[in-house]
Amino acid sequence: MTIFDPLDAEPIINACGPVTRLGGAPMPLQVLEAMRRAAEGAASLERLQAAAGRLIAKHTGAEAGLATAGAAASLTLGAAAILAGLDPAKMERLPDTSGLPHEFVVAREQRSGYDHAVRAAGARLVEAGFNELVAGAGVRRTEAWEIEAAIGERTAGILYVAASDSRPTIAEVVEIGQRRQLPVLVDAAGQLPPRENLKKHIAAGADLVCFSGGKAIRGPQSSGILCGRAPLVQSAALQMLDMDDHPELSQAPCPIPRHGIGRAMKVSKEEIVGLATALELFASGEYDRELPEMHASLEQIAAALRGRPVDCSMQPSVGGAAPVLRVTLRESAPRTAMEVCRMLRAGTPAIFVGHAELHQRTLVIHPLCLREGEAEQIAQRLLETLVVAPRH
């Protein structure tokens, strides 16, 4: 019997943070309870979404909001809203955009696997600029004039992927968008915490902003937020909600489309309520109370590794983000970071640590998803990987 009964699947220890591959963040009890309650009743999804939209608008400062099936779904819906507006004939066609403006300009350095979600709506991405820092060829990154120069007759919008050091700045890109009358769609999926970032890109003038609900917000793993200008959010809602109703009964501001491109990304009433509950908790600062305990867990791991061939460095909590422990293997360590990572995953229970810095010989321990007693297990298993010399 495992916690995943009736499936014969073993739980793992997630020391990697709220990543999708490992099931996201643990949902607080209040969220689970809200979802259980919601499961007992029936709801008009349209009305429930309207209520969730008002709550999202309150916390983001946007005109309107929508609970989605994750930030990637928000990207598809946001692109679909920009492409179709409130025209049901265009909604019906997507992702066929032949003959319509359908290009989204994006800084080349902001492209990632997630932009597939934008292309899925029928958009084509047009890249602009260079990152000469990454290329080792200079000191410059994508500049605002390069975004502007990529705009043409077929341009429908601008895609912007937010990070703390994104270039050009959101202000520069919004300025171009407003001057050229092109909406700016922002992927801010993982930009929380800090809580202030809920409002940051809307305040800067972005037209649509996407967040994950299953990362630091700790809502259902397959939930997300789309927020921004009311007509665009309304278009997104019309392209996601189930449209099987009489036009005479509709209160939509346009003839109602058939099921749209977002119908495949539907959100259940339980998820809408779960996301709303988690958003309230996140925005209230409630989660900050757990930070000292997370810090203590990491200290415990660092203390257990003292005297071993590793260097531990603690990145303290900033702006409500979880603290993080970096364990860097010295040259004298008996295994590489890649080998240690593989061994931890191969053991029972499997332990997954942050793997972004393995090539710098560093394991990153993220405490958000750790449960009681797991820090001790991680320390113990790390010690085991560091004592035996495996090389023949």
Ligand X SMILES: *Cc1c(COP(=O)(O)O)cnc(C)c1O
- Residue 189 CB, nearest approach to ligand X (Å): 3
First and final C-alpha spacing in the chain: 40
Q: Is residue 247 reached through a cis peptide bond, with omega within 30 degrees of 0 on the bond before it?
A: no
Q: Of 70, 79, 56, 3, give the one whose Cα is nearest residue 239.
A: 79
- Residue 341 CB, nearest approach to ligand X (Å): 21
Q: Both tokens of residue 146?
A: 């390069």
Which segment (65-73, 229-237, 279-287, 297-305) binds ligand X by CB under 6 A? 65-73
118 binds ligand X (CB under 6 A): no
111 binds ligand X (CB under 6 A): no
- Residue 249 CB, nearest approach to ligand X (Å): 33
Q: Which residue is nearest to ligand X (CB)?
A: 70
Task: Please identify which residue in 103, 187, 207, 271 interacts with ligand X, judged by CB under 6 A.
Answer: 187
Q: How many residues does the chain have?
A: 392
What are the backbone angles phi and psi of residue 265, rounded to the nearest 5°? -120, 40
Continuous segment of H or E residues that includes residue 328: strand 324-329
Exposed, middle or buried, 330 (CB in 10 Å: 0-12/13-18/19+)?
exposed
Do the beta carbons of residue 347 and residue 317 sit within 8 Å?
A: no
- Residue 339 CB, nearest approach to ligand X (Å): 28
- Draw the binding track, 235-264, toward ligand X (x: CB under 6 A; -: no contact): ------------------------------
Give how many residues touch ligand X by CB under 6 A: 12
Q: Interaction with ligand X in 145-174: which residues (CB under 6 A)? A: 161
| Nearest CB to ligand X, comparing residues 88 and 224 | 224
- Residue 111 CB, nearest approach to ligand X (Å): 11
Continuous segment of H or E residues that includes residue 128: strand 124-128
Cα 322-323-328 angle, rounded to 5 deg: 135
Which segment (68-76, 266-274, 286-294, 322-330) binds ligand X by CB under 6 A? 68-76
72 binds ligand X (CB under 6 A): yes
Do the beta carbons of residue 309 and residue 341 sit within 8 Å?
A: no
Judged by the rule CB under 6 A, the positions of this chain that interact with ligand X are 20, 70-72, 114, 161, 187, 189-190, 212, 214, 224
